[in-house]
């Protein structure tokens, strides 16, 4: 029986770096692993990703449009990748999922959580990840790790207070459902983080 694992956190906490570690760790245990991401994960959802992250020309993207595009990408991703993989008993590891909508569009943009919950129920029904791993670090530290990047997408261009609200929203969600969430201190050296990730993954493999 496969498991559904999601990696979350604000920009710069090390999701991309640790996705690689998680997938290799699970493959090393002879598990059949599917690696994916949101927004994205299918051809169509990647096109939506491009619209939502890189639209910069004619008009600003309305906050509701941003939320609905995230869910349009997610609906396609769920139908085409997530449900088939889980049905086949594969392990699915996603760089972001539903919690990012609550954190960014809810915490960050200020959309009421109960409106997001309506979309969650519509698109996901009762689908929930088995584990959500939140890589957590102070905003200043996380943003300092990506400061050297020359090109920043629409959301990455937001200010520190936006990311502070996003971080708080993630931590609140973890508090409400501690059985499914794990918080890892992403300010620590990678070796320490990966030791913690191994423990979290071993718990699921057992
Ligand atoms: N979004 C949304 O708004 N609503 C939604 O519903 C969904 C998504 C699903 C997707 O971007 C954007 O979409 C995201 C939220 C929004 N916007 N933002 N911001 P993404 O997830 O593809 O990209 P990102 O969040 O901007 O990730 P990132 O900038 O690539 O950061 P990262 O993957 O977490 O970090 P990294 O690239 O692995 O590491 C950054 C640097 O730090 C790198 O040089 C590493 O070598 C270094 N690093 C990492 N860990 C460490 C430690 N422990 N010590 C020292 N250095 C480290």
Closest C-alpha to ligand 1, atom 27: 11
Which of 59-63, 82-86, 161-165, 177-181 has the least mean pLDDT? Answer: 59-63
pTM value is 0.96
Give residue 57's pLDDT.
64
Give residue 152's pLDDT.
81
- What is the whole-number distance in angstroms between the Cα of residue 122 and the centre of ligand 1? 27
Mean pLDDT rounded to a whole number for the chain:
96
104: left (phi over 0), alpha (psi -120 to 50) or beta: alpha
- Calculate the alpha carbon distances from 111 to 116, 121, 124 in Å: 8, 16, 19
Atom of ligand 1 nearest to the CA of 52: 13
- What is the whole-number distance in angstroms between the Cα of residue 11 and the centre of ligand 1? 4
Q: How many CB atoms are located within 10 Å of the residue 165 CB?
A: 19
- What is the whole-number distance in angstroms between the Cα of residue 62 and the centre of ligand 1? 23
- What is the whole-number distance in angstroms between the Cα of residue 25 and the centre of ligand 1? 20
């Amino acid at each position: 029986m496969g498991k559904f694992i999601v990696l979350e956190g604000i920009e710069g906490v090390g999701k991309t770096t640790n996705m690689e570690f998680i997938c290799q760790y699970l493959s090393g245990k002879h598990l059949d692993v599917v690696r994916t991401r949101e927004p994205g994960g299918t051809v169509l959802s990647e096109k939506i990703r491009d619209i939502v992250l890189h639209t910069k020309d004619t008009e600003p993207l309305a906050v509701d449009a941003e939320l609905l595009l995230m869910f349009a990408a997610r609906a396609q991703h769920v139908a085409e990748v997530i449900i088939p993989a889980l049905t086949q008993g594969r392990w699915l590891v996603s760089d972001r999922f539903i919690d990012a909508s609550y954190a960014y569009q809810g915490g960050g943009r200020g959309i009421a959580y109960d409106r997001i919950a309506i979309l969650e129920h519509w698109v996901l029904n009762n689908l929930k990840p088995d584990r959500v791993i939140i890589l957590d670090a102070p905003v200043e530290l996380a943003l300092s790790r990506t400061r050297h990047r020359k090109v920043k997408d629409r959301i990455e261009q937001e200010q520190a207070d936006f990311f502070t609200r996003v971080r708080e929203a993630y931590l609140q969600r973890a508090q409400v459902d501690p059985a499914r969430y794990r918080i890892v201190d992403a300010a620590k050296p990678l070796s320490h983080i990966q030791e913690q990730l191994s423990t979290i993954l071993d718990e699921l493999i057992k």
